Amino acid sequence: MAFLLRVTLPDVPGSLGTLAGALGAAGADIEAIEIVEHGSDGRAVDDVLLELPPSVLPDMVVSACQRLEGVDVLWISRYTAGANLHLDLEAVESLTEEPAHAVSRLVGLVPVVFRSDWALLVQRAGNAVAVLDGTSAAPAVDEVSDAWLPMPRARRLAVPEGVAWESALMIGVPVGSPDLVLVAGRRGGPEFLDSEIARMAHLAGLAASIAASVDPADVADAADVAEPSAAVETADALGT
């Protein structure tokens, strides 16, 4: 069973090797490791994708990590987005495969690349906010907040009043315009790091630029071809 472990550890040589050794001794099989952030305080945040046999419980993994000096567990949960962690460069390659659909494809890529539970693409139209695209687990359309737009820069978002979403951790990034925004959410955790917000904003900017570079005639031709939903397209684009 796959689990995603997020830890902080000293950003010094040997720390990652020590962590890997402790996880292996606890019975966990490491499938992939991604360095999420290098902090200015001399610590790093890493995501570790683990495969745990039935005899190894998540609590055992947490205990193994906490016995290491300077290592703190931020989050551990089931991971269903695929058998590996997908880096930003793979996402960029996917966006360029179909430039006319780069923004739509980005919606489907975000939950995999950033381990969020859902993503939405929303746009201000007059005094209302319309949902243009979204993954299957995204909130209901009528619960989208018009207070999110316009959004001149990427930022964390508060849950709109009067709704009961399972996810209370959200960020939004503009996609080429303050009135077109990609919103991503997580249920319970972990918190979105500043580096993740910056990365998502960068990918959103690239997707907007890629889409804008397409000849209008090509877009018209592409519209004649049925396009899979963003959620389905994610699995095809990243091979999950």
What is the tens place of the pLDDT at every residue in 170-191?
999 999 999 999 999 988 778 8
Identify the band that residue 234 occupies on the pLDDT scale cut at 50, 70 and 90: very low
Res. 8: pLDDT tops 70: yes
Q: How much is the pTM? A: 0.71
Percent of the chain with pLDDT over 70: 81
Q: Please name the helix (run of DSSP H) or strand (run of DSSP E) that holds residue 16, with its range, or none.
A: helix 15-25
Mean pLDDT of 11-27: 95
Identify the band that residue 195 occupies on the pLDDT scale cut at 50, 70 and 90: confident
pLDDT of residue 156: 93
